[in-house]
Amino acid sequence: MVSRVIPVDDFDLVIFGGTGDLARRKILPGLFRRFRSGQMPADSRIIGAARSELDTSGYRAMIREAIVEFGGDEKSDTDTLDQFLNALEYVAIDAKGEGGWSELKSLIRDKVIKAFYFSVAPSLFGDLAERLHAHEIADADSRIVVEKPFGRDLASAQALNATLAEHFDERQIYRIDHYLGKETVQNLMAVRFGNVLFEPLWNSHYVDHIQITVAETVGVGGRGGYYDKSGAMRDMVQNHLMQLLCLIAMEPPSVFGANEVRDEKLKVIRALQPVEAHHIVRGQYDASDDAASYRADVENPRSFTESFVAMKCHVSNWRWSDTPFYLRTGKKMKARTSEIAVVFKDLGHKMFEGDSARHRNILAIRLQPNEGMDLQVTIKEPGPGGMRLIDVPLDMTFADALGDDAEDATDAYERLIMDVIRGNQTLFMRGDEVEAAWAWTDPIIEGWEARNDVPKLYDAGSAGPDDAMMLMHRDGRRWRDIKG
């Protein structure tokens, strides 16, 4: 299979926080890959901005190192890397100060697409938006890209939306959730809406339940201070898991347009019922032989913050009235995996004599590792010996399907940045979606706080607390194994 690369229009992209972790690990290595593939026009420019007193050559040296370290491939020939680095500039700017803005303005060309990536703490979004406007750097066609976390509750998300709205229209604001940039996520929509097979079965009549798991093996790493004030509910469920749930549950939009898709996602969030306290399990990882506990990692011996959440939710509409959605996410789990599993109902009638096993079709959509899908189907066990049935996966791992091109499969960040340049907001969260997600999440978190809820401990390297298993067992179901 040959992937096609269609170049985007010429652009100037300013990365505020251009020296930060995200810029060095994801944004710039991703842009380099787009440059190498021919998608980023050779004349386009990337301008890093942060407070550090660097000159452009110092910045290029920093980014060269980052691309070598985080580029994730062996194809980076020096000539191409040099050409890419020549497209980089650097300006020292404090988001809260007035220095550097006129220099930035002088670097930006008139007749190209202008995008501003706010890869800084959200507390600086307002300062940046205001100064871009005051110094007449952004125009009515410019785009801004903002990173998560987008607020920590409904009130702060509303305040952030209001701040950005003072200077930018909604059509200019790209709220990034890199989960939406994954190849599989888009393929999920292609599979659902592009095949006659699935859509007729995609409802409570045929789907028993849906499981969404996002498991990480890492702990809080160097983000302990931030994470301990956030927790898995704010850090993962409110954004990534909710977005995946929306894509699975939404009605087919009339056309595949940004607002049409986001209108349908919003309806799903609004149809989510409040979650009852006994349908949620919070967990916190404990120490194991070779790993510290969560509390040691965040240096807070009395922390009640959750590093794990499992819950059962209901989307209250015609399509999903009887189909529960089980969500689960955690840190220090037994394997790193992100997966959505659509578990279909049993056949009503067993016609094969002697076959007492339960056979179920399961469509598993893997976001990582090995992006792809498999559909579990029941067949006859090969060979003589009568009609013995077995379940086998019809496997579509993208790396197999794409062959050599899999190496070039666009990473989520680079795909999303190219969408920003194209002006396509389909895979970005709209302000009202984010607010609706917080409106659903807030009462859950407030309930925990009011009850002084203590998370259940689980062993690092496990599948989470036993209570999470019980959440499913009570309903006669079970979680799929967490496999890397």
Ligand X SMILES: NC(=O)c1ccc[n+]([C@@H]2O[C@H](COP(=O)([O-])OP(=O)(O)OC[C@H]3O[C@@H](n4cnc5c(N)ncnc54)[C@H](OP(=O)(O)O)[C@@H]3O)[C@@H](O)[C@H]2O)c1
Q: Known catalytic residues?
A: 240
**Residue 226 or 256 having the CB closest to ligand X:** 226
**Residue 16 or 101 having the CB closest to ligand X:** 16
**Residue 117 or 320 having the CB closest to ligand X:** 117
Type of residue found at 187: N
Look-up of token digits 């209108």: 263
The span of 32-40, 117-125, 335-343, 473-481 binding ligand X (CB under 6 A) equals 117-125
Rounded Cα–Cα distance for residues 212 and 326 (Å): 6
Q: Are 38 and 4 in contact (CB under 8 A)?
A: no
Rounded Cα–Cα distance for residues 204 and 208 (Å): 7
- Six-digit token pair at 445? 């978190």
Tell me: does residue 119 bind ligand X (CB under 6 A).
yes
The span of 45-53, 186-194, 314-322, 416-424 binding ligand X (CB under 6 A) equals 45-53
Q: Are 421 and 403 in contact (CB under 8 A)?
A: no
Tell me: does residue 457 bind ligand X (CB under 6 A).
no
Element (H, E) at 26: none
> How far from the centroid of its chain's Cα atoms is residue 176's Cα?
8
> How far from the centroid of its chain's Cα atoms is residue 187's Cα?
15
Tell me: does residue 65 bind ligand X (CB under 6 A).
no
Tell me: does residue 51 bind ligand X (CB under 6 A).
yes
The span of 101-109, 120-128, 131-139, 434-442 binding ligand X (CB under 6 A) equals 120-128
Tell me: does residue 95 bind ligand X (CB under 6 A).
yes
* β-strand pairing of 113-118 with 143-146: parallel
With CB atoms as reference, the residue minimizing the distance to ligand X is 20
The SS3 of residue 53 is: coil
Out of 121, 165, 390, 394, which residue is the one contacting ligand X (CB under 6 A)?
121
Q: Are 277 and 312 in contact (CB under 8 A)?
A: no
Q: In the range 125-184, which residues lie near ligand X by CB under 6 A?
A: 147-149
Out of 47, 91, 120, 188, which residue is the one contacting ligand X (CB under 6 A)?
120
The span of 36-44, 47-55, 213-221, 275-283 binding ligand X (CB under 6 A) equals 47-55
Rounded Cα–Cα distance for residues 104 and 60 (Å): 17
Tell me: does residue 22 bind ligand X (CB under 6 A).
yes
Tell me: does residue 29 bind ligand X (CB under 6 A).
no
* β-strand pairing of 207-215 with 280-286: unpaired
Q: Which residues bind ligand X (CB under 6 A)?
A: 16-23, 50-52, 93-96, 119-122, 124, 147-149
